[in-house]
Amino acid sequence: MANSGLLGPYPLEEKYIVRFVTKSADRSSASVFALGKITNKKFVIKKVCHADGDLSMVLKGYMGTYEAFRFRFYRSTRSAFNKQCQLYHQFSPSDNLEHPTRPINTRFTCPDPSCILSG
């Protein structure tokens, strides 16, 4: 199975969000996360998203809907968007009904050359 490059998986519960996200030394405002379930000891990605802001608050909003999460912080919104697009194309998550949208007030393009949103 392909590697997402994200940290985890962790159970999508408040104590794990606090332990691994809120207390992360690398915390910044741009992040990418994957939501899913664990089947046969493997994390199955159901949805990929990015957050510009408080990732722990965003993740808490998904508690009860998904079983587990993976995440990583990035230095810029562009880097986070590029990673989200890469994961979307790599894993085709069933709960992402459409291609990730560009962050507000940006003209970012998808880094995948075969994508209609690429440069």
pLDDT in tens, 61-81: 999 999 999 999 998 999 999
> Which pLDDT does position 73 carry in this prediction?
92
Q: How many helices (H) and strands (E) does the chain have?
A: 3, 4
> Which pLDDT does position 27 carry in this prediction?
61
Tell me if 58 sits within 8 A of 50, measured CB to CB.
no
What is the residue type of 13? Answer: E
Angstrom distance (rounded) from CA 104 to CA 22: 24
Q: What is the pTM of this model?
A: 0.90
Angstrom distance (rounded) from CA 33 to CA 49: 5
pLDDT at 116 over 90: no
Q: Percent of the chain at pLDDT above 90?
A: 70
> Which pLDDT does position 114 carry in this prediction?
84
> Which pLDDT does position 81 carry in this prediction?
94
